[in-house]
Structure 1
Amino acid sequence: MGSFQLFGKELQSLKNRKGLLIALIGVMLIPIVYVAVLLSATWGPYDNLDNLPVAFVNKDAGGVSGGQAINVGNDLMETLKESNSLGWHFVTEEEAMEGLDKQEFYLVVEVPEDFSQKVTTVLDANPQVPELRYIQNEGLNFMGAQVTNSAVEKLREQLGDKITATYARTVFSRFTDIETGFASGADGSKQIADGTEQLADGTNTLLTSLTEKSADINKLAAGAKTADAGAGQLLSAINGGTGDINKLASGSRQVASGATQLKGGSQQVLAGLNSLKGGSTEIYTGLQKLQPGSENLLNGLQQLSAGANRFYAGIALGDGTQGNPGLAKGLNQLATVLQSKQADIEQMAQGAALLQTLAQAPGMEAYRENLLALSAGLGELGTVYPVAVQSANALSNGANQMAQSMPALTAGIENAIAGQKTIVSGISSLTAGQGQAVKGIDALVAGQTAVVSGASTLAGGASQVANGNASLTSSWNKLGAGVSSLKSGLTQISTGNETVAVGWKTMTEGVTSLNDGVNRLQAGSSELVTGLEGGREQVAALRITDENIAMFSSPVTLAGEKVNAYEYYRDSTAPYILSLALFVGMLVLSMFVDFKKPAVLPKSAVSWFVSKWLQLALFATIQAVLVTGFTLVVLQLSVDHVVQFILFGIFVSIVFMSIIFFLVSVAGNIGRFIALVLAVAQLSITGSNLPIPMLPENLQAVSAYLPFTYSISGFKSVISLGDLSMLSSNALVLVIYLVAASVLALIAFIVSYKSLTTKYTPEVQPTA
């Protein structure tokens, strides 16, 4: 059966399955519903701005500019009431904040109370810039935030125009004052011209007087210079003796300071000796108390040595009498005796069993109880005797070890006795020496007391000498300061007289120049009178109108044009919406139509693939025709090239079908998931929301490999750009996707065909 026959069987199988056919019709309508919602002519971000709730709070108290009352806040509010740029709500500050907290307002604009007042400060020395405050609730919607950003910027421009007009009106209102000022200036300059004539006469008289007194001023300067030289010689002599006076005062101060330190040190030494005396006495008393205790300790060690010797004799040697050979020897003999009798005890223990047997014999009833008791005693003796032997051996070993340790112990005690004898002798000698030390310290304390008394006398005398020298130094310094002041005064007088002489000469020259300047001033004031009168006439000729003020407030207007303009916002999104609708339509179709299962068993993998591809291409074509036709007829989308628009829509639908056909044929539901991920990945990086050049470089590189990039660009070329060459280049890239996806799907069908005959039971067997 050929490919086209198999294709006919596929369509016939759909005819016999009414439920699937209805589902297919519904799937075909999904893209239409998609574009119907998103391509509505009134669906755009700027189509319903007057429904966007924003709050306006006017707290402006107004101001006065150029003698006229102004209120920029009220003017702006009246303008906004007549505008439908946004859904303005004119409320109080409390209502605005409450609405913002309840998420009712996207924007709150507030005109502060001092807005107009700050506007009037334009010509002040420190003008204040008015501030328009706003709070934007960006979290409600990002696009809403962008719209309100634009609205706030337009408000700023409107206020800027109004404020500039106010500035211009204020400036122009001053022209009358300027005209009056020019007139007053002309009158004043005429009076200046008259005054300069009188000033010229005065400067001539002053110049004559200065010239006559120049000789006397020079004599005064020479005399002051001679007096300054004599005062300098006197000051030099006084300064020469100041060093010796200062050295004498400094030395006496050092002597007084040393005597004071000697006095303080002597007192500290005396206090230390007193402390040493008390400590030495306490040490002597302690040594006297320590000596008896040390002698008692020596007696105790000697008694311990005697007891240890007796204990050693008792353990190792006994007392030498018959039957008392010593503890160690006695325990050794006991252990030897017990060991020698152990064999006999073991034999007796073995006889315990015989006694039990004998007690049970007939005729032994009268002796049975005694025999059993004897047998138990023998058994217990056999158990206890080995323990006794072991204990005797242990005691013997311990006594031997103790006997071996006793010589070392007695030797240590003897050494302790010898050391303690040395300690007793040392304490006796130390006690005698400490008694002599106490007597020596008493004598040292008496001598140091005399030193302290002498140091006090020395410190008093040194202080009196230092005070006398300090008074002499102070008087000498005062004398030097007085002569220095005299020298400074004479220097100032000399310098001043020289300055006066120079200044007198300079003043003479200055008066000469002043006289020349007065003459020029007289000529210039006449010219100023002429200029001010001409300026007054020019200012009077200015007549400022509202048109002039409008020109100052908004001096530039924009003049531009658009090419390939969109009539509606939906025109800009149509390429993206159509691409997404066609892709999603084919993806949903894959959930209802089996992309691989044939209606009948095909004779080859190629015929199987071709029949399925033709079936899905038919569905893709129908879907594209419905979507493009609905867009053109019902939505009335404006398209530059209608025929190319329909044909490109069919082509794009078939390309997307081939891609999904390949993914589903190879991976089933996993392929559908990959197709969904592919659609999501293309939402923002294929030129739908942002131009591709505005994307990061890595995303630009990715977008070059996504089919939406070329379908969107192709739709743009036929909808709004009218560029068929651009359409051809994008279609060529999509052909590559179509061929690649179809070839890969064919390979998948070839691989699957090998197992089709074993795993597939056809609904209709192929005819012979």
Structure 2
Amino acid sequence: MAPFRLAWFEIKRFRTPLQRLALAFVVLVPLLYGGLYLWSNWDPYGRLDQIPVAVVNEDRAVTVNGQQVDAGKLFVDELRKDRIFDWHFVDRAEAARGVHDTDYYFQISVPRDFSRKLASGAEATPQRARMLITLDDANGYIVGKMAQTVQASLENKISAAAVSAYFQSVFDNLESLRAGIHQAADGAGQLRDGAATAEQGSATLASGIGDLKAGADELAPGAQQVSDGVSAIANVVVPAANTIADALPSFTQDAATAASAADSLAGAAAQTADTVAGGADSVQSRVTAVGQAHPELQADPGYQELVRVTGQAAGFANQVDASATALRTTTASVNAHAQQLAADAPRLQSEVRGAATQISQLDSGAKQVASGAAQLDDGLGTAATGATSLHDGVAKLSSGAASLASGLSDAETRIPVLSDDQKKTNAATLASPVDVATENLHPAVTYGRGLTPFFFAIALVVFGITAFLILRPISARALASRAGDVTVALAGWLPAATCCVVGGLVLFLVLDVFLGLDPTLAWAMIGLVVLAAAAFTAIAHLFRTWLGGVASAVVLVLLLLQLTACAGTYPYETLPGFFRALHWVLPMTYFVDGLRVTTTGGNTAHLVRDALVLAGFLLVALALTTLVVHREREWTIAKLKPDLSL
């Protein structure tokens, strides 16, 4: 328990209100440091919309297939919808001036050919559009990192505008393709109509051919009926044959009478035979004429049988005629022939009667053949009409096919023919249609080089706290001397200022030689470090001279406020309102800004302004210190025995 008792005795030593306040301050140091720093940097990305950024849209809209493509405007519209940053839509000159003067932290530029290259996505060789983000680490290294952090969101907006422009051009091209396909559809419709007409014509042709077949089917039975028409001839031949057959017995009974009768009979027979022969010849001629008029009948078996029978009938008639003539020549011959005729009479009678029957059937069949031929003719006429319709339909079919071919050919020309390499290249281009390039006007290159201004400033301010823990701010002997107030004030400040300047230059040398700081404006940086060291020690000397031991706490609080309000990391626009109000009234702000210019380059006008402000802080601090020295020459009990001594 002894350690705790001894510790309590140390705490009890703080009896006065000021001493207890100092103890409470020590307890609150972690809160002050951690709380203030976290408060100022609690959500910088949540206040990105406070960071001014210039947007330059120089894009020129293009016309693709009669439709306007303005990708730059689409991108600007996307930015207006979602204010990731505080967008300022300005021209190129204003943007360059603003980035140079830190009115804008960076610049986004849309080039003139942005729409043209995006619209090329609908062509055989698409081109990748380019967009430029211009940074300047002289305005803050972390700003560039913040821009890179939200670059994915920016690229999404860029891609949205790019894809919209690309598909607009593609859909415009599809409209032309649709017109070609529509033309092909019309051609297909004509082809369909022509095919329908051809189908109707072919149906009519088939019907006509059916009629032709039906006529042919009727022609075959008609040919059979022609053979039956021979019976008409039999009507002439049979009576004569019967007369001859009846007369044959009387011829055999009386030869004399037979001779006379035979003579008479021969004359009658000759006459009759002539008539029969003429009729048979006539029938044969008609049958032959029918075959010549209708050649298709000549191959018909019935017709061939008819020709054979009529030929036989004509032959028989001629034989009868010859016999009648011979009968008149000689009675003996007639008698012999009469006997033979009597023997042959039944056969002859049967044949003559059969011929007559066939001739009758032939007459009827010839009429039917004529009727069938007429039907065949009608059927062929119908077939000719159908063939004509088929020809017209085929003509329409040809026209429709031509229209279809033309439309499909036009549509085909809209579809490019690509090689494998072109396909890969085009696919890569369309997958990433926009190349977002980044340039940095004054790059810090490395993280350490970018944050050097902030940590360099911290080092010099911390020196102001620690220096007077060793060095006396004011010498009591100097106060008691006859030296002037200015002399005493400078005498107390110069040792700390000299040490701080030397320490700052050592830090600069180490950073440059061993870490490769390589400042753009080295001599200007050295001069700014000397000026800032003098100013910071003058401010620390002022508070130490004025407030004594309490000054250490005040300077520490001042350090914490400067760390959080100087925007050494994130832009001051992302700071809460309290720290933004302090930003422009604290000296570290100007030292950090000046170091950025000397380290990476930038607006030298800012460097001049920063140096003048720091010089002002130095002169004001020295002037106020002189006043404090004048007051400190009045000795009091509190000065001889202060409540708080460090």
TM-score (norm 2): 0.38
**TM-score in terms of structure 1 length:** 0.32
